[in-house]
Amino acid sequence: MDLGVKGKRVLITGGTRGIGKAITEIFVTEQAKVGIVARNKSELLKVHDDLGVQIYEKDLSKANDRKNLMTEFITCNNGIDILINNVGASHGGSIINTHYGIFEEAMQLNFISAVHLSQLAIQNMKVNQEGTIVNISSIYGREAGGNPTYNASKAALISFTKSLSKEAIKDNIRVNGIAPGAIFHLNEVWKKRIETDPQYLEKYAKERIPAGRLGNPEEIANVVAFLASNKSSWIVGATINVDGGQSHLNF
């Protein structure tokens, strides 16, 4: 399907690995003008070499880095059409044993970065009276099951997505989100689990996911690209579960 995003100016946060890299790849395939941001310079350079995208080395937990990122991207591309707020990380452990400052760190990276970048992007999108923002949250933003700091930040992101969508649509800017379930890519977390128990993935899928397997990053990226395109023009303020039936809530 031609999603009609050829030539669109797309900024993807956390675009060097896992879900973010898969999102980067699909927009490159669709011939969009893609920029990605991350903290790891070597990972950025590898994606640049592989895919030819613009790269920005920034720490999105810092306000000045967010401002500089948006200024640089808009200057380089003469605007922005699509923002994908994907960056995120899990911090701390149980609530009782996690210092409140760790909650603040999680909120800065997982939530405040999306709020701030969305505000900055919308200022430019309003000029053309068109744009889309897709926020990557989690099914654990709706129900218990993950790390408490992560859950709280992703719950805030789901609420923010709905609230911002009502304001932004007046300028023909659509804001939506995706709540992934368990997605497998060989990061440090999954590596440790597999090293501890080689059967971990099989047991996890059997016990928790009706579809019987973990998802893959491309399955999230496909939905992101759809939501960012005009093929989803009547979807506003939704956060869609993409989880193989893993989530338990009825909404």
Q: What is the CATH number of the domain that holds 29?
A: 3.40.50.720
**Inside any domain, residue 92:** yes
Q: Is position 204 annotated as part of the catalytic site?
A: no
Q: Are 137 and 161 in contact (CB under 8 A)?
A: yes
pLDDT at 47: 98
Total count of residues recorded for the chain: 251
Report if residue 74 sits inside a domain.
Answer: yes
3-state secondary structure the chain: CCCCCCCCEEEEECCCCHHHHHHHHHHHHCCCEEEEEECCHHHHHHHHHHHCCEEEECCCCCHHHHHHHHHHHHHHHCCCCEEEECCCCCCCCCCCCCCHHHHHHHHHHHHHHHHHHHHHHHHHHHHHCCEEEEEECCHHHCCCCCCHHHHHHHHHHHHHHHHHHHHHHHHCEEEEEEEECCECCCCHHHHHHHHHCCCHHHHHHHHHCCCCCCECHHHHHHHHHHHHCHHHCCCCCCEEEECCCCCCCCC
The answer to the question of residue 51 being in a domain is yes
Q: Burial level of 48, CB count in 10 A (0-12/13-18/19+)?
A: middle
Which residue is it, tokens 């973010």?
Answer: 20
- pLDDT tens for the 251 residues of the chain, in order: 689 999 999 999 999 999 999 999 999 999 999 999 999 999 999 999 999 999 999 999 999 999 999 999 999 999 999 999 999 988 889 999 999 999 999 999 999 999 999 999 999 999 999 999 999 999 999 998 889 999 999 999 999 999 999 999 999 999 999 999 999 876 666 677 777 878 888 898 999 999 999 999 999 999 999 999 999 999 999 999 999 999 998 87
- Number of domains composing the chain: 1
**Within-domain flag for 247:** no
pTM greater than 0.85 (yes/no): yes
**Residue 249: inside a domain, yes or no?**
no
Q: Is there a domain that residue 194 lies in? A: no
For residue 161, being part of any structural domain is answered with yes
> What is the per-residue pLDDT for 190?
65
118 lies in a domain?
yes
Tokens of 148: 């408490």
* pLDDT, position 184: 86
Can you tell me which residue has the tokens 């890299």?
A: 21
Note down the domain range covering 153: 9-185+216-242
- Parallel, antiparallel, or unpaired: how do β-strands 173-180 and 131-136 relate? parallel
Which of 56, 140, 150, 204 is catalytic? The answer is 150
